Structure 1
Amino acid sequence: MSFPFPDVSNAPISELISLRGRCAVITGGAQGLGKAIAARFAEAGADLLLLDLDEERAHAAAEQLATRYGVKGLGARADISDTEAVATAADLAVAELGGIDIWVNNAGLFPNAPALEMPDVMWDQVFAVNSRGVFLGSREAARRMSAGGKGGVIVNTISTAGFQVAFPGMAAYVASKHAARGLTKSLAVDLAPLGIRVLGVAPSYVPTEGNIAAAREAAEAAALAGVEIPPVDVMTQSRIGRLGTPDDIARVVLFAASDLSLIMTGSTLLADAGETL
């Protein structure tokens, strides 16, 4: 069996890191990590489709990056847990941008509740987005990548919760991220013959709009249950003397999506400042 991955050993760094001529789809792309990833991709030359539940914010982010970096930028609303919505978004990328070369499954939910008090609906919602959504996005992207005959790269935002449990009340989130990490491995095996690489990036806590709100909600829920959650700066065991920034994570995702990481598939890169050592 022939695997369509070239040897790029003689390519210059500028060519290896470039995404010029490629189309990238990013879920949860309107703010936070998703927008930071989109900014680095646009700087590297990629055309963008940003998917988000907040359609207006997705449009605004895509327009801003397109203007700044001279690339094509589209924003669209998509519920990534809905099969038809994901397929429609993938078709939009093909129709408007010419195909899909990179798909980043970045959108996620981070609710918190003690296991004995967690309602079924919370568990189901977390898995619908953090696990099912990763599968749906990967499947629809891979179908169009393989149809285009060029292959591509799928990058999944995993979290250090795919490796460890930071504090109580994370049963749904931790389980969903372990599932996404396992899915990254399995998809890498299934898709390699099609020229598609699959990688995960696992950030520790990074202060974004969504993460700050989720951390606040987690602390409030824990307090009601009589459980104390330490402040973020205490529970994050950074070895570099600071919390990560969205751009810290975006640069790792850019590495994963570019030809710099061409030898890699199936791995999940810890972008955690050494937290999980």
Structure 2
Amino acid sequence: MQISVPDVSTRTVTELISLTGRRALVTGAGRGLGLAIAQRLSEAGADVAVTDVDEQLALKAAESLPGRTLPLQLDVTDPDSVSAGADRTVREWGGIDIWVNNAGIFPATPALEMPTQTWDEVFAVNARGVFLGAREAARRMSEAGHGGVVVNVVSTAGFRGTGPGLAAYVASKHAARGVTRQLALEFAPMGIRVLGVAPTFVPTEGSLAVAGASDPETAEHLMSVMQPSTLGRLGVPDDVARIVLFAVSDLAAFMTGSTLLADAGDTA
């Protein structure tokens, strides 16, 4: 049975952007991009499950949001943990309408020196974790019969190669972009939209830590891409969060399968 997305033509702009009454879950929301995304969804009226592999970060982040929150420890590489987080959200709030796969890692190691374990760890979070989250979200949404939206935070690295040491990261983000497109096709009959948002590098606690721990060549490249853009300034997490808010709102109700660039025009 096909569940159609609603025609929202008669709604006001205020109604289109409002998330009042919707229940969202954001992974990797303890800091950085994830926290900025959770903040904007909460401001728009959503109840937000703030999840992170670090439970204390999730708790602290949840306390900083203006709306109703549910802090959860969630490991996106563990199917049982992802499923448990989805179930807990449904038990607490009655369902899930929005799921944002934001958690990601990007250790920088030159390809010739990269242990296989590092490659596997990056894919476990950045690609497998995206699939697990989208799958569990879609299962809950389809069971409820009301549709929903999944947003995968990809990267401009999902469109091109980038600097030295990021082979695993680039490959995993190409995979995340590909699974976004495929799941959009598979989930459409259930009324579930799937979109990607691809930010360029912006300074966060995580990206600065990676740059600081990298070899000189890799660190120089990472810092070079975190410089003022063609729009005249450095990007900040909220630049990405606002695009995610658009994607999950009814402003984007007729969009699925696309990956939206949040890069100030820097991706060739």
Range of TM-score over shorter length: over 0.9
What per-residue deviation string (whole Å, max 9, x for no partner) do you get for residues 96-153 of structure 1?
A: 1221100000000111111111001100000000000000000000000111111100
What displacement does 1:236 show? Answer: 5.0
Which residue is equivalent to 1:154?
150
Instruction: Report if aligned partners of 1:205, 1:236 keep a CA contact under 8 Å in 2.
Output: no
Instruction: Report if aligned partners of 1:17, 1:255 keep a CA contact under 8 Å in 2.
Output: yes
In the alignment, the residues of structure 2 paired with residue 235 and residue 72 of structure 1 have an alpha-carbon distance, to the nearest angstrom, of 33
1:1-277 maps to which residues of 2 (within 5 A)?
2-65=2-65, 69=66, 71-218=67-214, 220=215, 223=216, 229-230=220-221, 232-233=223-224, 238-277=229-268
1:248 aligned partner, one-letter code: D
**2:233 match: secondary structure:** coil
In the alignment, the residues of structure 2 paired with residue 127 and residue 246 of structure 1 have an alpha-carbon distance, to the nearest angstrom, of 23
Q: How many residues align?
A: 268
In the alignment, the residues of structure 2 paired with residue 4 and residue 77 of structure 1 have an alpha-carbon distance, to the nearest angstrom, of 34
In the alignment, the residues of structure 2 paired with residue 104 and residue 231 of structure 1 have an alpha-carbon distance, to the nearest angstrom, of 25
What displacement does 1:237 show? Answer: 7.1
What displacement does 1:244 show? Answer: 0.7
Q: So what's the TM-score if we normalise by structure 2?
A: 0.96
Q: So what's the TM-score if we normalise by structure 1?
A: 0.93
Give the 3 Å change call, closer, same or farther, for CA 85–271 of structure 1 in structure 2.
same
What per-residue deviation string (whole Å, max 9, x for no partner) do you get for residues 67-114 of structure 1?
A: xx2x22011111100000000000011001221100000000111111
Give the 3 Å change call, closer, same or farther, for CA 75–163 of structure 1 in structure 2.
same
In the alignment, the residues of structure 1 paired with residue 101 and residue 19 of structure 2 have an alpha-carbon distance, to the nearest angstrom, of 18
Identity of aligned residues (%): 60
What displacement does 1:231 show? Answer: 5.8
Instruction: Report if aligned partners of 2:184, 2:257 keep a CA contact under 8 Å in 1.
Output: yes
Give the 3 Å change call, closer, same or farther, for CA 166–45 of structure 1 in structure 2.
same
Instruction: Report if aligned partners of 2:211, 2:218 keep a CA contact under 8 Å in 1.
Output: no
1:89 aligned partner, one-letter code: G
Instruction: Report if aligned partners of 2:58, 2:72 keep a CA contact under 8 Å in 1.
Output: yes
In the alignment, the residues of structure 2 paired with residue 51 and residue 163 of structure 1 have an alpha-carbon distance, to the nearest angstrom, of 27
Give the 3 Å change call, closer, same or farther, for CA 231–146 of structure 1 in structure 2.
closer
In the alignment, the residues of structure 1 paired with residue 6 and residue 71 of structure 2 have an alpha-carbon distance, to the nearest angstrom, of 32
Instruction: Report if aligned partners of 1:166, 1:235 keep a CA contact under 8 Å in 2.
Output: no
Q: Which segments of 5 or more consecutive residues in structure 2 lack a partner in the other structure?
A: none
What displacement does 1:161 show? Answer: 0.5
What displacement does 1:37 show? Answer: 0.4
What displacement does 1:166 show? Answer: 2.2
Give the 3 Å change call, closer, same or farther, for CA 142–171 of structure 1 in structure 2.
same
What displacement does 1:197 show? Answer: 0.2
What displacement does 1:230 show? Answer: 3.5
Give the 3 Å change call, closer, same or farther, for CA 42–118 of structure 1 in structure 2.
same
In the alignment, the residues of structure 2 paired with residue 30 and residue 2 of structure 1 have an alpha-carbon distance, to the nearest angstrom, of 36
In the alignment, the residues of structure 2 paired with residue 132 and residue 179 of structure 1 have an alpha-carbon distance, to the nearest angstrom, of 9
